[in-house]
């Protein structure tokens, strides 16, 4: 029986191969295609389809109306449309820094894109001690270009409003609102994952610190109603494919118009995880260098690009560019701090910390992460350079003997 | 020939009567209906339809794809849908403070609503020296209830996102962006209306004041990307029908999710126009009292309502309510200042000032308005009470001999 592509269902690998043969001009007629499901994320299914004769390959990403990890967890398949449409925009703004997109299927909630099997996920590469000399500059370039292009003063206000509407993303924003901005600071649903050894520290430093929770509430208000730019929304080292000579940002399914500082802040925090993980095990890695270079390059490129991009005369008045960048940098530092806390105590943790085999080393890295996170949130209006991040993290690490 | 209600066209009065007879259950079958077009606004057409036997009446508001004042001026008829949908919401949140809505016709871009002919427009009533003892409290109540109900922490985040999408309002926001936030401070399109006598003052105090223009740019950024609450968007004394015993807010066609302080600030500024107009002619009126009572009541009721409405625990942390209200009050003072400037020098002026017959009196009132506007914009973070508005306005008026 021929497969039915007219109603949504999760494809089998052989259906995925057939879909690719039928819908994509990438493969010759009659090519022998093989497919496998290779996904390991929480939400979606990933099929890799290869022409066994030529080696030409493609990736199909399919989204259901529940999460891959649990069909109890409903999440709108509209995320596939958002990811596709954002990737198309990214290909126009930062070509080469994202996978190419070949086709989408709104019935099957499926997007066909460039196969990046020759790359490695940045988080994994760093855990293996690899070096990626281009990553900091490429990711800063990606972040600045995508954010500035969709900012007020650059994008026409009517075009912006149309995009705001297209990229309203209730289900995936809810995940971020709950997991980043709420639960790490008040374990309302008892979903946090905190060891007994860490719990007293977390209770004191996060749950019971009202000054911190007030600052977190301010950041949450900005996330809920600050539609500054089209943000990736999940811009961490697990959303980046790297080779020594190539950087590709993937997975923008959380994209929506939000605070421009969110993306660079989350990326900075994920460099800190790699750094703390290496220190906790006495390994060397490049994450500290990456952190400073990424932030400084972000600031430098933002200034360059903003000055040549801003077309609304209202925003060309002296002092505005600096004021606006400072807002972005405060939000970035705040977002970095949130990410450091939430990936340490929340439901979605990072391998950098969880994979630390020695419980004492893990505990020290976790505490240092929370300390750095708090310092970045509370001091976010004074974090204005890569070195400011570096000093904050070093102080937090030193308190836990990780210097 | 029977009128065709299946395609959009501007109704004749007799078609309006027929539409009302056919579509509304307000009138008995066979009732003798008379209709007249009674509009005097810039954008839309207003038909009043009356049953000559019973006196029962209704108002039909119809919107074309151009402005009433000029068919060169294109503006989306979608504003009629927005006005209808917002009025329906307002009727649920502040019943009695808005006209009842009977029906809408998305083909004709028409909304049928309560006839308020027994009321007077507040701006006109004040120019005639009338007193409206309920207006300050009613309008503060309207503003607080509509804003708090649609704020983050009160409205469910997913419901809010759906409403943000429904009320994206590109054409009418563009009018505000241009006329309120841009042109009064840089006469880019040469549309400002400034007399030769006033021009040197305006050039120095507005066009050439870079410190002011920087603060205006910050406010414009907030208007473009701060989706705090569903705002009325045109909340001035010409959008309020009053009787001694009744207050009705009309015309929410500019509504969208924007800064919560915008509405109360614009209303406060329009009380200042009435005040300056009366002072310039040596008349008495209640606008000064209104100003102080409106602002203080807004603050008092906001505190009351916020504390019982906020349901998101993140925003129940001590200090957040105060921080958030202070942001709203800063935006309100800034918006009041913008309104004072733009209605004095921009293309859409207010009768309070333009109707001043004596050129010297008019000039003094105009200069006082710009002075008060600047002071409110530049000092907005210190404007925290009705008395703060009052003192600012009194100082500006005194400089022009209007004390």
Could you list the pLDDT tens digit for every one of the 403 residues in chain A? 578 899 999 999 999 999 999 999 999 988 999 999 999 888 899 999 999 999 999 999 999 888 888 888 888 899 999 999 999 999 999 999 999 999 999 999 999 999 999 999 999 999 999 999 999 999 999 999 999 999 999 999 999 999 999 999 999 999 999 999 999 999 999 999 999 999 999 999 999 999 999 999 999 999 999 999 999 999 999 999 999 999 999 999 999 999 999 999 999 999 999 999 999 999 988 999 999 999 999 999 999 999 999 999 999 999 999 999 999 999 999 999 999 999 999 999 999 999 999 999 999 999 999 999 999 999 999 999 999 999 999 999 999 999 8
Helix (H, G, I), strand (E, B) or coil at B6: coil
Which chain B residues are Cβ-neighbours of A189 within 8 angstroms?
Answer: none
Which chain B residues are Cβ-neighbours of A213 within 8 angstroms?
Answer: 314, 317
Q: Given an 8 Å threshold on Cβ–Cβ distance, is B323 in contact with A181? A: no
Phi, psi of B122 (to 5 degrees): -55, -40
Q: Given an 8 Å threshold on Cβ–Cβ distance, is B319 in contact with A210? A: yes
Provide the whole-model pTM.
Answer: 0.96
Among B263, B148, B222, B151, CA closest to A217: B151
pLDDT of B186 reads: 96
- First-to-final CA distance of chain B: 64
Half-sphere exposure of B156 (CA within 13 A, CB side): 5
ipTM of the shown complex: 0.95
pLDDT of B40 reads: 85
Q: How far is CA A305 from each of CA A146, A301, A323, A331, rounded to the nearest angstrom?
A: 11, 6, 15, 19
Q: How far is CA B385 from each of CA B140, B273, B306, B377, rounded to the nearest angstrom?
A: 13, 19, 18, 15
Which chain A residues are Cβ-neighbours of B319 within 8 angstroms?
Answer: 210, 214
pLDDT of A72 reads: 82
Residue of A nearest to B312 (CA): A182
For residues B340-345, average pLDDT: 98
pLDDT of B66 reads: 85
DSSP B380: G
pLDDT of A73 reads: 84
Neighbours of B69 (CB within 10 A): 10
Q: What is the pLDDT of residues B155-190, one digit of tens each?
A: 999 999 999 999 999 999 999 999 999 999 999 999
| Among candidates A157, A185, A226 on the partner chain, residue whose Cβ is nearest the Cβ of B226 | A226
Report how far residue B311's alpha carbon sits from residue B327's, in angstroms, rounded to the nearest whole number: 20
Q: Does B355 touch chain A (CB under 8 A)?
A: no
pLDDT of B267 reads: 98
Interface of B with A in 257-296 (CB under 8 A): 257
Q: Does A177 touch chain B (CB under 8 A)?
A: yes
Report how far residue B206's alpha carbon sits from residue B210's, in angstroms, rounded to the nearest whole number: 8
| Among candidates A161, A177, A317 on the partner chain, residue whose Cβ is nearest the Cβ of B214 | A317
Q: What is the pLDDT of residues B278-315, one digit of tens each?
A: 999 999 889 999 999 999 999 999 999 999 999 999 99
Element (H, E) at B48: strand B45-51
pLDDT of B232 reads: 98
Whether B76 has a pLDDT exceeding 70, the answer reads yes
Smallest Cα distance from A376 to chain B, Å: 19
Q: Given an 8 Å threshold on Cβ–Cβ distance, is B165 in contact with A165? A: yes
Q: What confidence tier does B61 reach under pLDDT thresholds 50, 70, 90?
A: very high
**DSSP strand pairing (B66-67 vs B57-62):** unpaired
Q: Does B166 touch chain A (CB under 8 A)?
A: no
CA gyration radius, chain A = 21
Q: Does B74 touch chain A (CB under 8 A)?
A: no
Q: What confidence tier does B1 reach under pLDDT thresholds 50, 70, 90?
A: low
pLDDT of B293 reads: 98
Which chain B residues are Cβ-neighbours of A225 within 8 angstroms?
Answer: 152, 226-228, 257
DSSP A70-93: EEEEE--THHHHHHHHHHHHHHHH
Which chain B residues are Cβ-neighbours of A324 within 8 angstroms?
Answer: 221
Categorise residue B95: left if φ over 0, alpha if ψ from -120 to 50, beta otherwise.
beta
Q: What is the pLDDT of residues B87-143, one digit of tens each?
A: 999 999 999 999 999 999 999 999 999 999 999 999 999 999 999 999 999 999 999
Contact indicator for A57, A51 with CB cutoff of 8 Å: yes
Q: Given an 8 Å threshold on Cβ–Cβ distance, is A157 in contact with B170? A: yes
Among A391, A400, A387, A386, CA closest to A356: A400
Q: Does A221 touch chain B (CB under 8 A)?
A: yes
For residues B251-274, average pLDDT: 98
Q: What confidence tier does B358 reach under pLDDT thresholds 50, 70, 90?
A: very high
Contact indicator for A313, B188 with CB cutoff of 8 Å: yes
Which chain B residues are Cβ-neighbours of A214 within 8 angstroms?
Answer: 317-320, 323
Q: Given an 8 Å threshold on Cβ–Cβ distance, is A181 in contact with B210? A: no
Report how far residue B397's alpha carbon sits from residue B279's, in angstroms, rounded to the nearest whole number: 9
Which chain A residues are Cβ-neighbours of B213 within 8 angstroms?
Answer: 314, 317
A–B CB contacts, 8 A cutoff, strictly below? 114
Distance of CA B273 to the CA centre of its chain: 14
Q: What confidence tier does B2 reach under pLDDT thresholds 50, 70, 90?
A: confident
């Amino acid at each position: 029986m021929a497969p039915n592509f007219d109603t949504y269902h999760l494809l089998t690998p052989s259906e995925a191969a057939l879909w690719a043969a039928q819908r994509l001009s990438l493969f010759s007629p009659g090519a022998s295609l093989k497919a496998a499901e290779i996904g390991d994320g929480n939400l979606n299914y990933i099929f890799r389809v290869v022409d066994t004769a030529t080696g030409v390959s493609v990736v199909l990403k399919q989204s259901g109306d529940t999460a891959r990890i649990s069909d109890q967890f409903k999440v709108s398949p509209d995320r596939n449309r958002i990811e596709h449409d954002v990737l198309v925009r990214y290909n126009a703004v930062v070509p080469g820094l994202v996978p190419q997109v070949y086709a989408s299927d709104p019935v099957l909630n499926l997007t066909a894109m460039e196969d990046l099997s020759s790359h490695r996920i940045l988080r994994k590469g760093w855990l293996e001690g690899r070096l990626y000399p281009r990553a900091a500059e490429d990711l800063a370039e990606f972040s600045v270009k995508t954010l500035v292009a969709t900012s007020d003063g650059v994008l026409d206000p009517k075009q912006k409003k149309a995009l705001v509407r297209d990229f309203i993303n209730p289900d995936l924003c809810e995940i971020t609102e709950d997991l980043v901005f709420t639960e790490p600071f008040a374990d309302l649903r008892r979903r946090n994952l905190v060891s007994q050894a860490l719990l007293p520290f977390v209770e004191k430093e996060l749950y019971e610190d009202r000054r911190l929770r007030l600052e977190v509430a301010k950041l949450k208000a900005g996330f809920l109603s600050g539609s500054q730019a089209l943000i990736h929304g999940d811009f961490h080292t697990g959303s980046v494919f790297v080779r020594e000579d190539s950087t590709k940002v993937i997975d923008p399914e959380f994209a929506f118009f939000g605070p421009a500082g969110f993306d660079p802040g989350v990326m900075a925090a994920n460099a800190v995880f790699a750094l703390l993980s290496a220190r906790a095990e006495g390994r060397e890695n490049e994450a500290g260098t990456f952190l400073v270079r990424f932030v400084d390059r972000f600031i430098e490129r933002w200034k360059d690009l903003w000055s040549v991009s801003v077309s609304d005369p209202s925003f060309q008045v002296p002092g505005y560019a600096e004021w606006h960048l400072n807002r972005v940098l405060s939000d970035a530092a705040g977002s970095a701090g949130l990410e450091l806390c939430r990936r340490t105590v929340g439901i979605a943790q990072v391998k950098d910390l969880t994979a630390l085999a020695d419980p004492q080393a893990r505990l020290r890295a976790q505490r240092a992460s929370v300390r750095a996170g708090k310092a970045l949130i509370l001091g976010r209006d004074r974090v204005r350079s890569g070195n400011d991040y570096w000093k904050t993290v070093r102080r937090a690490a030193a308190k836990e003997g990780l210097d």
